[in-house]
Every structure is written in structure tokens, then in C-alpha cells.
Amino acid sequence: MSELRPSARRFQQILAEKGYPHQVMELPELTHTAVAAAEAVGCDVGQIVKSLIFKTRKTDRPVLVLVSGRNRVDTKKVRALLGEKIGKADADFVRAHTGFAIGGVPPVGHVSRMETFVDEDLLQYESLWAAAGTPYAMFRLTPADLLAMTGGTVTDVKA
């Protein structure tokens, strides 16, 4: 494995500190879209875990939605779960609450605790791939790993 970029190395350290054996893999090409990520690791686009950060409109809380690479988020469904409208979070908000830049946000290891929702479609796969700190880094995990790591609520969030 080549030397990891600083954010990917930091995420690898977070995994180790939490007792997770997963290995961050640095890739030669950008993986900032689900299609690019799936092509880079040779999996179905549905196996890609997109870590999307939203911001509640009234209380300015971060909300993490982990969605299958095949799906888009229905914000009305998330709003119903929260009881509050949500909007897209800008790059500064994402970095402030996760410690990572958009395109490389992993599903765990964030600066802030946040309510997390997991797309039920992710549970159909034997293995998943998620961002690992940069748009060049990913790690492989199972749906059970994802649920254990995040404590997220499995629900229907897809549009």
C-alpha cells in the first residue's frame, strides 16, 4: 500500500483507536462520486456508502445520512424522521462537524456526534465500500460493521 494522504492516515488511526481492523486503501484516481468509487474498487455502485451531511434548518444540527450509491436521499423522509426541515450543508459546515472535506467524509470518526440514518438498501450487500478521509481513499466493510460503527437507524431514506 502506498503512503496514505494525511486525512486518510488520520482516519486509519481513528479506526485503529476504535478497535476496527479495517484497512484504508489509497487509490490513484478520485472517488468523489459513487460511480467513480465503484469503478475504482470493482464493485456494484449500490455497494458504495455515500456519507451525506445535512443541516437542520431550525436548530443547525448536523445529520448524517448513509445512502447506497444507487440512491438519492428524499429529504422529506428525513424531515419526517427528525421532525424538522433539513437543507444541504456547505463545505465549511461539513468540515467543522466531521473533520473531513466533502468527497472524503467517512461514515464514522467525526468531530461532532450526529443523528445517523442508514439506507435500508445497503443491508442487501455482502460487502460495502466507504470513503476514508479523502476522495482518493476508501475502506471495505460489511453492513453489520456499518451499523456497529455508526449506531445509525436503518430506514427508508431513498427518493
Residue whose C-alpha cell is 427508508 = 156
Q: Which three cell numbers stand for residue 122?
A: 445497503
* Average pLDDT value for the chain: 95
| pLDDT recorded at residue 30 | 87
pLDDT digits (tens, 9 = 90+) for 98-137: 999 999 999 999 999 999 999 999 999 999 999 999 999 9
121 contacts 70 by C-beta, under 8 angstroms:
yes
| CATH classification code of 6-155 | 3.90.960.10
| pLDDT recorded at residue 9 | 96
Q: Which three cell numbers stand for residue 59?
A: 436548530
Q: Is a pLDDT exceeding 90 seen at residue 33?
A: no
Q: Which residues contact 53 (CB under 8 A, 6 or more apart)?
A: 62, 63, 64, 65, 89, 93, 94, 97, 98, 102, 105, 114
| pLDDT recorded at residue 1 | 43
pTM beyond 0.85: yes
Section 31-40 average pLDDT: 90
Domain regions of the chain by residue span? 6-155
